Amino acid sequence: MHVALFLPCYIDQFYPNVGLATVELLEQHGCTVHFPVEQTCCGQPLANSGCWEEAQPLARRFIEIFKDFDYIVCPSGSCTAMVTHHYEELIAGYSGLHQVEKKTYELCQFLNDVLHVQHLPSRFPHRVGLHNSCHGLRELRLGRSSEQMVPDFSHARRLLEMVSGIQLVDLTRPDECCGFGGTFAVGEEAVSCMMGDDRIHDHEQAGAEVITAGDMSCLMHLDGLLRRQRKPLKVMHIAEILAGRPLPA
């Protein structure tokens, strides 16, 4: 199985260890991982800002770069959702679009739905709170959101429960937005920070040592608030925990 690793810009530039942990997980389960070095931004920031025409060349370039791989895997729900849910409107009718949409997966989605992972050899003896990012929850349906009248499920939680020694804490509002929202955090920074503080407080009251999520963008936002307030809570992408990486200093 040949898998192309699609990395969000902020992971490539600021959090390369998340990409390395993703590769390690995929290789553990028999995948041959490729990293197309010519890949660029998927166009989500431009699209979120209303610059649809400017985003179209990036979307077409994405299709051309990734169309020949068996699968495309991304450690980000928002970037995955951009490809699978919004390219259809952005570049409707472009050759190869539907094939790429069908084989693009968020990391936890791929581990569960394609690889059907049943065991992880990793150990992480810490109290962890799971932040459910909005795109993964409400566009990719990686878990049940509170407005849905369906049986409870969570791709991320199922995988975390396979990690030895982990203690998953219970949050009072497990599907609430952290306030990042891409360009929202820039245009409405005061509201964004208040929402982030609410999420941090929820993890604090639950006794978490670590906040994890499938989107490093949400964690980057929360980590900025934690650092400014000199709070001891740490953030780690779920790929790092599933790969057994140690708690950051």
Element of type H or E holding 170: none
| pTM as predicted | 0.94
For domain 127-242, give the fold.
Rossmann fold (3.40.50)
Which ranges in the chain are annotated with CATH 3.40.50? Answer: 2-113, 127-242
Tokens representing 72 are: 């495309």
Q: Which pLDDT band holds residue 248 (cuts at 50, 70, 90)? A: confident
Mean pLDDT, rounded, for 106-126: 97
Residue range 42-65, pLDDT digits in tens: 999 999 889 999 999 999 999 999
Mean pLDDT, rounded, for 88-111: 97
Decide: 11 and 19 in contact? Cβ < 8 Å.
yes
Residue range 150-204, pLDDT digits in tens: 888 999 999 999 999 999 999 999 999 999 987 888 888 999 999 999 999 999 9
| Cβ burial 116-128 (10 Å sphere, 16+ → b, else e) | ebeebebebebeb
Q: Which of 39, 107, 120 is nearest to 71 (CA)?
A: 107
Element of type H or E holding 122: none
Q: 2-113 maps to which CATH number?
A: 3.40.50
As beta bridge partners, residue 235 has: 211
CA dist., res. 209 & res. 100, Å (int): 38
